[in-house]
Amino acid sequence: MPTIALGYCDKVDVDLAKKIAQQWQFEYIGDAAAAKHRQDIDFLLQVDNQTLSLKKLDEPKLGGVLVDFVEGASAHRRKFGGGRGQDIAKAVGLKHGFTPTVLDATAGLGRDAFVLASLGCQVTLIERVPAVAALLENGIERALLNVETATIAQNMQLQHCSSIDEMQQYGEHDIVYLDPMYPHREKSAAVKKEMRVFQTLVGEDLDADKLFEPAFELAKYRVVVKRPNYAEPIAGKKPSTSIKMKKNRFDVYVKQGIPKA
């Protein structure tokens, strides 16, 4: 397993850095600059201006990975993404008068969960990797403090556990959403920064097929699985229908029809 430590960039962030390190059981090294002298550390979680990011120390040019629901791509998608006309909205059955509860069992950086929350869905996010869960929690907390995203973030509830083992304890949801890691065809230099960091930290979801049965059992109406277009269906299960995009698709497994408004 990679070694992860946590530090701060400025002394104003000391208290938050200590809190996160204690909560998630990461080694606390104080000033993040101390990581330069530690050959045994693979990843650094650093707090800078109350924002938590993850750096891969042997590839400093990659920069930090963080969860930002307030600015950047999430803000653009929130404002101009197309609302309920988006493919993900169609996949989960967001029709007029029906706003499902969603269990995102492979939350990652939470981008799709945030889109669904912005459309009014109550979303439970499950993330099993502690470093990623810590990034998610920090992102949600910052979103709660922003006037434009606070009501959206209130629709998001984070749980840290393994979906394969513990999904059932969160009760029935209208939709269960799965987006497990899948091997990328591109050469490593072409893979997005987040993917390169994640593939080193998390690896591939080699047990992803085990998610399908508990997900289908838990979902009231359907399971939605996001896949690269070249990927086989999860667990070899043929979907009821698929919504295809440029690089990815949503495989939809219908359990029962969504009620009409």
d(CA 16, CA 14): 6
The answer on whether 249 is annotated among ligand-binding residues is: no
Q: What tokens were used for 157?
A: 């509830």
Per-residue DSSP letter, 83? G
The answer on whether 188 is annotated among ligand-binding residues is: no
The answer on whether 127 is annotated among ligand-binding residues is: yes
The answer on whether 179 is annotated among ligand-binding residues is: yes
Closest to 177 (Cα-Cα) out of 140, 210, 216, 139: 216
Q: Is 165 helix (H, G, I), strand (E, B) or coil?
A: helix
d(CA 171, CA 101): 11
Burial classification of residue 62, based on how many CB atoms lie within 10 Å of its CB (0-12 exposed, 13-18 middle, 19 or more buried): middle
Strands 27-31 and 4-8: parallel
Strand-pair partners of 54: 45, 65
d(CA 116, CA 205): 23
The answer on whether 111 is annotated among ligand-binding residues is: yes
Q: Which residues are annotated as a binding site?
A: 111-112, 127-128, 162-163, 179
Q: Which residues are annotated as a binding site for S-adenosyl-L-methionine?
A: 111-112, 127-128, 162-163, 179
